[in-house]
Structure 1
Amino acid sequence: MRHAARLLGVLALALLCLQLWFAGRILLMRWVAPQSTSFQRSEALRLLTEKHQLAWAQQWVDDAQLPATLKRAVISSEDDGFAQHGGVDWDALKGAWKKNEKAQARAEARGRTTAKVIGGSTITQQLAKNLFLSGERTLLRKGQELVITLMLEGLLDKRRILEIYLNSVEWGEGLFGAQAAARHYFHMDAARLGPFEAARLAVMLPAPKRFERQPGSPYVLGRAGIITGRMGGAQIP
C-alpha cells in the first residue's frame, strides 16, 4: 500500500509539473510568439521521413497586419461564438456528438466500422491541440486539451489567441499561417486579403491538405460565398 501511495504521489507530482510547464509556456506567449507548434514539428518530421525534403512556408505577422476580413471569415467559418465563450462551446460539442452518433449508426448499418467525425472544437481548442498535443483521439488527450484551453483563455486575451492561431494554423502541406497562405494562393500579403479571398482561406481550414489540390473547386467557392455573407455579423476581439 505504501509503495502504491508513493507511486500515486509521484504521478500526481509529475502531472502537476506538466501543467505548470504548459502554463509557463502559455504565459510567455503574451510577449513572445511561439517558434513552432507540436503539430508543425510532427509534420516536419513526416515530410522529412516520407519525402526526404522539407518544403516549408511560414512568416509571422503581427495582429495589426492581420486584416479584419480574415478574422471575420475564420470566426464565421470555424467558431462564430469565439468572442463570447470561455474556450469551449458546449452547445457546439453537444451538436457534434449527436451528429457523430447518427453518422456512426448509418455507417454500421452499411457495413462500415467507422464514420467521418464532425468536430465541435473552438478556435482556442484547436490552438491548444496544435501547440502542445498529438492528433490521437483519446479521453486522456481530450482532457489535457480542455485544461490547456482553459489556460489559454485565462492567461491570454482573445486578440492574442486569434493572432497566434492565424499565424500557426495549417493551410496546406508545409504551409502555415495567414501570410504564407495569402502569398501561396493569391500572390499577395495577408494584409491585402479581400472578403472573398479571406473566406476562401477560411473554408479550407477543416481539411487544408484536401482543399489545396483544388482551392478553386465549386465547393470551396460556394462555401466561401456563404461565409462572405455571414462575415458582417462576426464579432472580432
Structure 2
Amino acid sequence: MRVLKGIWKWGLRLFVVLFIGQFIYIVLLKWVNPPVTFTQIGSMLAGRGCHSRNKSSADVSENARLAVIASEDQLFPDHNGFDWKSIQKAIEYNQKKPGRLRGASTISQQTAKNVFLWQGRSWFRKGLETYFTFMIERIWGKKRILEVYLNVAETGNGIFGIEQAAQTYFNKPAKNLTQYEAAAIAAILPNPLKLSVRPMSPYVASRARKIVQQMNFLKPDRDIQRIVQAD
C-alpha cells in the first residue's frame, strides 16, 4: 500500500508540474514564436531537413493571410476553434468510405497540432488537440493563431512557414507575395509532401486559381478584414 501511495503521489506531482508547465508555455507563445515543433523534429529525423524563417504579421503579405483562410478555413473568423458542421460531414464521409479519410480541421486545430503535438489520428492525440485548440482560441486570439500558423505550417519538403516558402518558390519575401503566388502556396497545404509549387502540377494551378476567386469573394467581409489586416 505504501508503494502504491508513493507512486500515486509522485504521479500527481508530475501531472501538476506538466499541467502548469504547458499552461505557461501556451501563455508565453502568445508573444514568442515556438522554437521548434514536433512536425519539424519529425522532418529532420526523416532526413527532409527543416528550413524555416519566422515573421510577424507585419512582414507577411495580406494576400498570404487571406489565401490560407480561403483555402483552409473560410469560417475562421466566426467559429470558436471547431467547425462542427464540417466535422459532422467528415465523420459521415469516413463512415461511408473508410478507405478514404477526409479531415475537417480548422486553422486553429492545425496550429494546435503543429505547435504542441505530433502527427497521427489516434483518439488520444485528437483529445489533446481539442484541449490545445480551446486554450489558444482563448489565450492567443485569431490574429495570433493565424500568425503562428503561417510560421509553422509545412509548405514543402522540409520547408516550414510562409516566409521560407516565398523565398524558396518565388525568391522574394512573404510581404511581397501576389494573390496568385500566395494562393499557389496555400494550394499545397493539404499535402505539402506530395504537392509542389515548383514544378506546379495542373491540379495545383487549378486549385490556386479557385483560391484566388475565393479570396476576392471573402476580401470585403469585415470580420475577415479584422484578421488579415496587420496591426
TM-score for the superposition, normalised by structure 1: 0.85
Q: 1:4 deviation in Å?
A: 6.7
Please list the CA deviations of residues 26-76 of structure 1 after superposition, one character each: whole Å capped at 9, or x if unmatched.
1001221111111111211221xxxxxx64421111111111111111001
Equivalence for 1:109: none
Q: Whole-Å Cα distance in 2 between the matches of residues 142 and 5 of structure 1?
A: 31
Q: Is the 8 A contact 1:88 1:122 kept in 2?
A: yes
| SS of the residue 2:190 aligns to | coil
Question: Would you say 1:92 and 2:76 are equivalent positions?
Answer: no
Equivalence for 2:32: 32
Q: Whole-Å Cα distance in 1 between the matches of residues 165 and 64 of structure 2?
A: 11
Equivalence for 1:41: 41
Q: Identify the match of residue 209 of structure 1 among 178, 183, 193.
A: 193
Are residues 142 and 201 of structure 1, via their aligned partners in 2, closer, same or farther at CA, if it must alter by over 3 Å?
same
| SS of the residue 1:121 aligns to | coil
1:139-218 correspondence runs (5 A): 139-212=123-196, 215-218=199-202
Q: Is the 8 A contact 2:40 2:50 kept in 1?
A: no
Q: Which amino acid aligns with 1:212?
A: S
Equivalence for 2:96: 102
Equivalence for 2:20: 20
Q: Is the 8 A contact 1:22 1:148 kept in 2?
A: no
Q: CA RMSD in A?
A: 2.1
Q: Whole-Å Cα distance in 1 between the matches of residues 130 and 5 of structure 2?
A: 27
Q: Is the 8 A contact 1:133 1:145 kept in 2?
A: yes
Q: Which amino acid aligns with 1:120?
A: A
Q: 1:19 deviation in Å?
A: 3.2
Q: Whole-Å Cα distance in 1 between the matches of residues 123 and 151 of structure 2?
A: 28
Please list the CA deviations of residues 181-232 of structure 1 after superposition, one character each: whole Å capped at 9, or x if unmatched.
0111111111111111111111100100101286411111111111111113
Equivalence for 1:137: 121
Q: Which amino acid aligns with 2:28?
A: L
Q: Which amino acid aligns with 2:85?
A: D
Q: 1:22 deviation in Å?
A: 2.0
Q: Is the 8 A contact 1:39 1:132 kept in 2?
A: no
Are residues 32 and 9 of structure 1, via their aligned partners in 2, closer, same or farther at CA, if it must alter by over 3 Å?
same
1:56-75 correspondence runs (5 A): 56-75=50-69
Percent pairwise identity: 36
Q: 1:85 deviation in Å?
A: 1.0
Q: Which amino acid aligns with 2:53?
A: Q
Equivalence for 1:116: 100
Gaps of 5+ in 1: 48-53, 105-114
Please list the CA deviations of residues 76-104 of structure 1 after superposition, one character each: whole Å capped at 9, or x if unmatched.
11011111111111111111111111112
Q: Is the 8 A contact 1:123 1:165 kept in 2?
A: yes
Q: Whole-Å Cα distance in 1 between the matches of residues 30 and 186 of structure 2?
A: 25
Q: Whole-Å Cα distance in 2 between the matches of residues 63 and 42 of structure 1?
A: 26
